[in-house]
Structure 1
Amino acid sequence: MSSGLIDEPPAPEDKSPSRRRRLLRLLAIVTVIMLAVAATVCGVYAKLTGNVRHIEVTREDLGDARPAKAPTAALNILMLGSDQRGGKNYAGERTDIIMLAHLSPKRNHAAVISFPRDSLVQLPACRSREGLPGQQRHRGMINSSFNFGGIGCTWKTIETLTGIHIDHFVKVDFTGFKGMVDAIGGVDLCIPEPIRDKYVQLNLPAGWQTLLGEQALGYVRARHSLGDGSDIGRIQRQQDFVAAMAKKAMSGETLTDPARLFGFLDAATKSVSTDPDLTPGIMRDLALSLSSDEIPFITTPWRYSTAYPGRVEWLEGPAKKLFRSIAADQPLTSSKVRDTQPTVPLRTKTDTVPYFPEPPTTTAPCTPDPAS
């Protein structure tokens, strides 16, 4: 087994941190808000909360040299988006998304930091647990910590790199949303042009389509056969799909149908893992924070690596400034966000200057929306 992932060729479909950041935000909104809604449904709350898997992260996992907690009631919650796949080229679970949500003491302000999964960083040593070999201290990709030491090692890695004390974690299994889609009878989505993608085994005509679970999973993963084949277009497609799913889940069609609502909530809660101390109240606070369009979603300042093509490295100065503000529970003003993420022209992947892609914008050609 390799000591890290820097000697492996990068996966071409996983180059865009923005894609994972937006997908995690939207899926987290759907899943966590549904958990909050579940608290109001008489008779099913215990069943649904019982679906959530709890994984204990111990002092032995995190070590003694942890960052100090800020002297306030602020909370820092590690959020992971995992993808379980099997097959000839891959088997197991990987963390496609790593983010940190900071909730203010009064829960009236929040900020979210995204850590690109292709980041080359100095990884700490982690103990072995639950059949995983553990991690030796080395330079490697940030998401390799989960492969070597599980959630405890990922938690320790983020604390070590940022100096931010983490209080809780939430992990969402994205393949679980297949069941969520099926439970609400599929999701209506505009397909602007026919899709024939052998990689995800998707065959769809143009126009309004009702996508069921397997089709939905193929659609949000598809890249090669759509547009110019880049991740930029896929970001928008994923955002459109999950937004459509949230709309369907929160519609009267779902909320007034007890069987359909329960099926959706059941599938959603089965996709979530947390630490045992993450209470429904904290989940509610997290849901409300993620639902706000006003909170800053900040990608750790980075640039493409010249030594390892396809990987990225953090900009030390701006990254430290950002982490210190979060660790000290200092509000992230718009000026501070601009300082950590300067506006620069779009660059190619071989450039060594900071790369901060603009969010994509597209318009769907199908009108009217049959669900409206």
Structure 2
Amino acid sequence: MAADEQKRPPSDERERHPDDDGGGAPSTAHGGPEPRPARDGRPRGEDPPRGDEPPPLPDAPPAVPAAAPAATENAAPAPGARTPDDLVPGDRLPGDRLPDDEIPDDEIPDDERSRRGPRWLRWTAVGAAVLVLGASGAGYLTFRTLDGNITSDANTAEELQRYDADRPARGPGAARTVLIIGSDDPSSLPGAVGGIGARSDTVILLHLSGDRDRATALSIPRDLMVDVPACTGEDGETTPARRAQFNWAYSFGGASCTIRTVEQLTGIRLDHHLDIDFAGFKELVDAVGGIEVDLPEAVRDHHTELDLEAGRQMLHGDDALAYVRARKGIGDGSDTARIARQQQFLGLLAAKLRSSEVLMNPGRLYPVLTTATSAITVDPGLSSLPRLYELVSEVRDVPDDALRFLTVPRVNDPDDPDRDVLVQPDADELFKQLRWDQPVTLESSGAAAPGGVLAPEGAENRPPAGQGTP
């Protein structure tokens, strides 16, 4: 049903009373109002006078029925009869007419009963219609609200169009590749130094095979040294092409520069992108009720202001964000460990979003949908609720054992141990398999994420299938 048809009230249809006989006239059964006379003085429904029969004289007085004998004040009531003095609230005298909806079904004539139908069925139908219309209206308004929350990144689409001739060719068949960007403005985060602009703290390349039988979520480390192309920022200034740390691309030119950097690095054409900021991530974790972790030891990280005791606990909001951002104060302090922890945390968040605790709880589901749609910025190809739902459904339908979490093969940069470089030819082989929609053969370490993230309830404490770094 089109949206304008769904919200149009049925004002062009005449509302009928439940006792309406289908022609619009009110029922006259059981003492109802007499038919209104026609304009020529005939009762409605009476045949007009024939041509050989004179019409009644207009001045002929109507027949007056014989008056009933007047009752005398002193007349004794019939034996057993009740008088007005005997009535209590709710009682009626013998001659009083019952309302139509109080007449017992066994007292309704057969022809009238067949025309009206069972009373309970009529009122049930009316009630159901009201509920359906109400639910449809609420559902439509909810849809419009959620759909309107989504931000479309038209500027990125325009910028990518300018460089379309330099971008890789599209992959084969129905395969889809989506770049998921977790962005932040460091100046707004605890312990951060201002003045360096927003950066992509987390970037995941999500590849869905054409048959949707497998999916690969490939993390690209923020510290990986890459070739960043010339990019234009929001201020209109163009930065020259340079070799730089990967997450700087977002600072140079936002999502479009990050997309072009990834495409240049991998040779994979990206079909869509989805950008979620850290404020949205915090709100989403709160909306699902938090994510549980079990820390083997206390964590103190001054950079993210993370301060957690050892043991099992539920993380919400700021603590959840600090937990996935922390690096120096948790685990072995490496970016490798942090990426593994982020992957597992996101996997648990996705599992909770799909759980009955959220999906079957309207009080929690609507805030989750509101938060999720408000927190994301997407390309125009995903900027509607049905298109986002289609993408989520495709990811959801991938078998659990066919969803792999990987990180690009890399090692510490010989020139700077705080930076990473690709491991070749492993990286190029991985990119080629994804580019041509082939099964990924790269082996993963399968190492669990340090820091104590819990597996979903009922499962062993291990990372999602295929998770790890080579």
TM-score, length of structure 2 as denominator length: 0.56
Matched, 1:68 2:169: yes
Per-residue CA deviations over 1:210-247 (Å, capped at 9, x if unaligned) read: 43322333333345554555556656765665555555
Cα distance change on mapping 1:135 and 1:316 into 2, 3 Å: farther
Identity of aligned residues (%): 36
Give the paired residue count.
307
Q: Is the CA contact 1:77–1:100 (under 8 Å) kept in the aligned structure 2?
A: yes
Q: Is the CA contact 2:181–2:202 (under 8 Å) kept in the aligned structure 1?
A: yes
5 Å-filtered alignment, 1:175-194, equals 175-194=279-298
Q: Who is 2:149 aligned against? A: 51
Q: Is the CA contact 1:119–1:311 (under 8 Å) kept in the aligned structure 2?
A: yes
Q: Who is 2:364 aligned against? A: 260
1:314 to 397, 400, 422: 422
Query: Is 244-253 or 64-73 further displaced after alignment?
Result: 244-253
Per-residue CA deviations over 1:109-163 (Å, capped at 9, x if unaligned) read: 333333222222222222x242253331221122222111111111122222222
- Distance in 1 separating the partners of 2:172 and 2:354: 38
- Distance in 2 separating the partners of 1:237 and 1:71: 33
Q: What code does the residue aligned with 2:448 have?
A: P
Per-residue CA deviations over 1:276-302 (Å, capped at 9, x if unaligned) read: 112235422553267733233333222
Matched, 1:332 2:439: yes
Q: Is the CA contact 2:282–2:316 (under 8 Å) kept in the aligned structure 1?
A: yes
- Distance in 2 separating the partners of 1:158 and 1:223: 24
Instruction: After TM superposition, give the deviation of residue 271 of structure 1 in Å.
Output: 2.1
Unaligned runs of 5+ in 2: 1-137, 458-470
Q: What SS does the aligned partner of 2:402 have?
A: coil
- Distance in 2 separating the partners of 1:51 and 1:157: 29
Q: What code does the residue aligned with 1:46 have?
A: R
Cα RMSD after superposing both structures: 3.5
Q: What SS does the aligned partner of 2:421 have?
A: strand
Q: Is the CA contact 2:214–2:398 (under 8 Å) kept in the aligned structure 1?
A: no
Q: Who is 1:275 aligned against? A: 379
TM-score, length of structure 1 as denominator length: 0.69
Q: Is the CA contact 1:94–1:143 (under 8 Å) kept in the aligned structure 2?
A: yes
Q: Who is 1:359 aligned against? A: 447
Q: Is the CA contact 1:220–1:238 (under 8 Å) kept in the aligned structure 2?
A: yes
Per-residue CA deviations over 1:241-285 (Å, capped at 9, x if unaligned) read: 555555554454444432322112211222222101122354225
5 Å-filtered alignment, 1:145-184, equals 145-184=249-288
Instruction: After TM superposition, give the deviation of residue 207 of structure 1 in Å.
Output: 4.2
Cα distance change on mapping 1:106 and 1:137 into 2, 3 Å: same
Q: Is the CA contact 1:186–1:211 (under 8 Å) kept in the aligned structure 2?
A: yes
Q: Who is 2:33 aligned against? A: none
Per-residue CA deviations over 1:172-228 (Å, capped at 9, x if unaligned) read: 223322212333444444344444554444444444434332233333334555455
- Distance in 2 separating the partners of 1:231 and 1:112: 17
- Higher-Rg structure is 2
Cα distance change on mapping 1:226 and 1:46 into 2, 3 Å: same
Q: What code does the residue aligned with 1:117 have?
A: R
Q: Is the CA contact 1:53–1:270 (under 8 Å) kept in the aligned structure 2?
A: yes
Q: What SS does the aligned partner of 1:112 have?
A: strand
Query: Is 181-190 or 264-273 further displaced after alignment?
Result: 181-190
2:410 to 295, 302, 305: 302
